[in-house]
Amino acid sequence: QKEVEQDPGPLSVPEGAIVSLNCTYSNSAFQYFMWYRQYSRKGPELLMYTYSSGNKEDGRFTAQVDKSSKYISLFIRDSQPSDSATYLCAMSDQGGSEKLVFGKGTKLTVNP
Amino acid sequence: ETGVTQSPTHLIKTRGQQVTLRCSSQSGHNTVSWYQQALGQGPQFIFQYYREEENGRGNFPPRFSGLQFPNYSSELNVNALELDDSALYLCATQGRGSGANVLTFGAGSRLTVL
């Protein structure tokens, strides 16, 4: 079993839809959870950062972490064509480390 | 612009050759990490450098090595290239004013091994 599982999609939605992306993980030591967005031919850019369990909202984006189920989610409200990208979940067990464990990424297309 | 610059952007090598990839950051952070992203996969941690010393390594063989310089620029060297080394190589450093886990990535160097 991989440490982090993420459905690679692809996922295609109409503009304005609510998008739900998620990852499961097996390592209970993970405490730091991130979502990165990666456009084609670019490096990943940080979208959301969460420590431990709970919800975090930033504009149209909401990140949820459920440590008891080892499950994290990213919701995108009012999706836009510019949201079309690959979304990567990432997590870490150490606050001082740059070692992140990534999921495979979910490729999202938002159709106008 | 992320403030993390990588070069070259693309390169093609043949099996058995050696390659050096370069990274520089405007942030001046004293840590840098390197990741390998194969096609259709998430990035995989190769290693991290802190104050010019390797400070953590992922599941990569010794033919992957690195250097960090006093100006915090960095190099990734890969010897005896194999076909499976074909990937996007990403350099990352801490984002400005953020924790160690919050990384800013460069655009990457895409390596093709024939």
Q: What is the DSSP string of A51-102?
A: ESSEEEEETTEEEEEETTTTEEEEEESS--GGG-EEEEEEEES-TT----EE
Question: pLDDT tens digits, residue range B73-102?
Answer: 999 999 999 999 999 999 998 755 555 567
The chain A residue lying nearest B104, using CA atoms, is A45
The chain A residue lying nearest B95, using CA atoms, is A46
Report chain B residues whose CB lies below 8 A from the CB of A104: 40-42
**Residue B48 is encoded by which pair of tokens?**
């991290």
- pLDDT of B103 > 90? The answer is no
- Report the alpha-carbon distance of residue B29 to residue A50 in Å, rounded: 22
- Report the alpha-carbon distance of residue A37 to residue B10 in Å, rounded: 21
Neighbours of B42 (CB within 10 A): 25
Question: pLDDT tens digits, residue range B13-56?
Answer: 999 999 999 999 876 677 899 999 999 999 999 999 988 899 88
Contact call for A98 and B103, based on CB within 8 A: yes
Residues in Cβ contact with A59 at an 8 Å cutoff, skipping those fewer than 6 apart: none
Contact call for A95 and B100, based on CB within 8 A: yes
Beta bridge partners of A36: A46, A88
Task: Render the burial of B57-79: b for 16+ CB within 10 Å, e for the rest.
Answer: ebebeeebbbebeeebebbbebe
The chain B residue lying nearest A5, using CA atoms, is B42
From A90's Cα to the closest Cα of chain B, the distance in A is 9
> Residue A96's pLDDT is what?
62
Pairing of strands A106-111, A85-92: antiparallel
Question: pLDDT tens digits, residue range A1-57?
Answer: 679 999 888 999 999 999 999 999 999 999 999 999 999 989 999 999 988 888 999
